[in-house]
Structure 1
């Protein structure tokens, strides 16, 4: 074990923040899992805690393995992974999946082990690596929109388009983060403005269809419409539509300044997503405003360290890679918190490293491992260095 700790590379502050968030997650997960045991009659609190611990342990093994990979290797890996994630996303749309008796077409089951896998989480990480590779390649070149359609916008359109039918919020978040990364990567502003304007027009048309004829849209369109209506006009929302939102607000109100104490939440027993989407409400109820702001501080600290790492890297690709895979972690955390305090419509986004979940934890750990890889200067290959011709992946990465 000591040898394992000695081999930890990269930014020690990020290692510490991630470890603290993971350790803290056991408290709210154990507390909120009583909802699964006594209300939904699934397993035991210890069983859910052990499952969460196993997922986190495997997640940290992913971080350890990935952070040992030289950063420039991810260029070649993105070329291999992109076709795979497109196939997985397409396959996900064709499979009828039920988890706990509820339709969950955003997931597929991993063969032999039966663990649900949300393919969009992997696709979003791979897409960001793909974009970082492309933007670093054209950094000093004059590029036209036509030239970037096939290598950049076609993969973006395919990934976002395949995620959209089953997971509107994730598709929207990925689309926004793609634009942010392209802006930071120096993609021509005139094209970004045009794409953003077109996106806003399409979003307006989509909302018009959603509210006028939702039956022509995917099955989840009714859920999207209900969530938007509840957010805009909560006073007119039906009891079923507003129930979880109201419970979350009650949990926040009950928390006060210092909270009721660990394990003493009442709302966890009636808040259906208390272990995942609304776990932040349980945290505030039990640890108060102080606990909620403390958690927010650690995510802001993680964002700060991600920016520091990006700024200290030697290559354009590494800078864009760190921002591309690191920013979504913190962005997702902010959205989860904003939903709980009613600053954002319900999205179904878990709280990274805190929420009880499945492979979403692993994909977060994958992204963290990539950031840590870039933060280790010894593993970063500066532009122009010699490439090992006996390593096909290194040759492919160096050429791209």
Structure 2
């Protein structure tokens, strides 16, 4: 175990918080999967879901370990190459995306031969944030030209978002918000950013108009769902989403201060998506307000650690990578918790590292691996500086000892020979490297 810990480079605090969140996730997932275990005339045994979640977490930590070994600056070039590949995957997902429970939810693709579904938008967001960080960190001798940035920066951003939007509005809005935050941190001109935001609003309104004109098209089938969710959030009209929110609020109210206890949730048997989208409600029901605030505190501490890691990064690309990959993770957690307490409409965002799921956990771990790689590089620089300082200190001690011994050998009587000896010592003092190592 000690040897394994020694092999974990980078920020140990980030490692610790990630491990705590992952370890805590097992009890809520094990408990909240009961409704899934009963679906389709199941036996109600949740052990299989626990083992599946364990496999996802183990693979996730393996991803973190392998990725954190890669120097983070390699991802500058990888992002540019990977972006066209992501576009192909998103296009394929729109056309051939997996249908879940009979509904058109083209967000997943089936990986051949292994039977695993993969949400391509999670990979797209990661690659896009790296690409934006790469653009913003390029050395520029002249001010940013807006027309050039439209082609190099905003063109790829809008192409990616346009492929995600028809199936997943909440993810599109989250990615766009994080890109705006990233360009702000990267000192992209604010007046240009305002133009982009205005253009995005106009384009989205145009998309809605087209969706209204062609309501039967499968590419626009989710638009009515978005509208109904917003309407349900602002009115008292009964709907399936209202049912989810009501059950989530009952679960949170039942938890009170200390909770009902691990595995004793009642609403997990009635709340849809209790092990993923609404797992925070089950956490509060079983562990109370203390448990809910504890989870929130862990995410906030992880956020502050990301801020520190970004501040310590020696390169602009490293700073932007930590911001671009770390902050969306925390904001996604905040959105998930806000939905559970009805501060936001239902969005379908999972709780990172805690909710059950494969691709979401793996992409989160991939992002964490890159962030830790940034902190590992800074640790290596600090260690090199410490080693250099130790070598200089050791060399200076050897020089001082050699000069002291030479001074002790000086004869006390006066004469020509004494003058020669004095000159010899002065010569050695003038060239200490020769005094230690010889000519």
Tell me if the contact between 1:131 and 1:152 (Cα under 8 Å) persists in the aligned partners.
yes
TM-fit CA distance, 1:114: 1.1
Tell me if the contact between 1:210 and 1:225 (Cα under 8 Å) persists in the aligned partners.
no
With over 3 angstroms needed to count, the CA separation of the structure-2 counterparts of 1:203 and 1:232, relative to structure 1, is farther
Match of 2:225 among 223, 226, 229: 223
Residue-by-residue CA offset, 1:104-137 (whole Å, 9 max, x unaligned) = 3100011211101000000000000000000000
Output aligned runs, 1:197-346, within 5 Å: 197-203=198-204, 218-233=220-235, 235=236, 237-346=237-346
With over 3 angstroms needed to count, the CA separation of the structure-2 counterparts of 1:96 and 1:306, relative to structure 1, is closer
Match of 1:91 in 2: 92
TM-fit CA distance, 1:249: 1.2
Q: TM-score, normalised by structure 1?
A: 0.90
TM-fit CA distance, 1:271: 0.5
Structure 1 Cα separation of the partners of residues 137 and 342 of structure 2:
38
Structure 2 Cα separation of the partners of residues 174 and 16 of structure 1:
27
With over 3 angstroms needed to count, the CA separation of the structure-2 counterparts of 1:308 and 1:31, relative to structure 1, is same
Residue-by-residue CA offset, 1:265-323 (whole Å, 9 max, x unaligned) = 11100111100000001001111111111100000000000010000010000000110
TM-fit CA distance, 1:369: 0.5
TM-fit CA distance, 1:197: 2.3
Match of 2:116 in 1: 115
Tell me if the contact between 2:104 and 2:221 (Cα under 8 Å) persists in the aligned partners.
no
Tell me if the contact between 2:137 and 2:186 (Cα under 8 Å) persists in the aligned partners.
yes
With over 3 angstroms needed to count, the CA separation of the structure-2 counterparts of 1:263 and 1:229, relative to structure 1, is same
Does 2:67 match 1:61? no
Structure 1 Cα separation of the partners of residues 208 and 100 of structure 2:
29
Tell me if the contact between 1:11 and 1:376 (Cα under 8 Å) persists in the aligned partners.
yes
User: How large is the Cα RMSD of the aligned pairs?
Assistant: 2.1
TM-fit CA distance, 1:5: 2.4
Tell me if the contact between 2:214 and 2:220 (Cα under 8 Å) persists in the aligned partners.
no
With over 3 angstroms needed to count, the CA separation of the structure-2 counterparts of 1:138 and 1:152, relative to structure 1, is farther
With over 3 angstroms needed to count, the CA separation of the structure-2 counterparts of 1:42 and 1:129, relative to structure 1, is farther
Q: Structure 1: which 5+ residue stretches go unaligned?
A: 383-400
Structure 1 Cα separation of the partners of residues 46 and 253 of structure 2:
26
With over 3 angstroms needed to count, the CA separation of the structure-2 counterparts of 1:287 and 1:82, relative to structure 1, is same
Secondary structure of the structure 2 residue equivalent to 1:117: strand
Secondary structure of the structure 1 residue equivalent to 2:121: helix
With over 3 angstroms needed to count, the CA separation of the structure-2 counterparts of 1:210 and 1:230, relative to structure 1, is farther
TM-fit CA distance, 1:241: 3.9
Secondary structure of the structure 1 residue equivalent to 2:274: coil
Q: Structure 2: which 5+ residue stretches go unaligned?
A: 383-439
Output aligned runs, 1:130-149, within 5 Å: 130-138=131-139, 141-149=142-150
Tell me if the contact between 2:97 and 2:105 (Cα under 8 Å) persists in the aligned partners.
yes
State which drifts further: 298-307 or 141-150: 141-150
With over 3 angstroms needed to count, the CA separation of the structure-2 counterparts of 1:284 and 1:307, relative to structure 1, is same
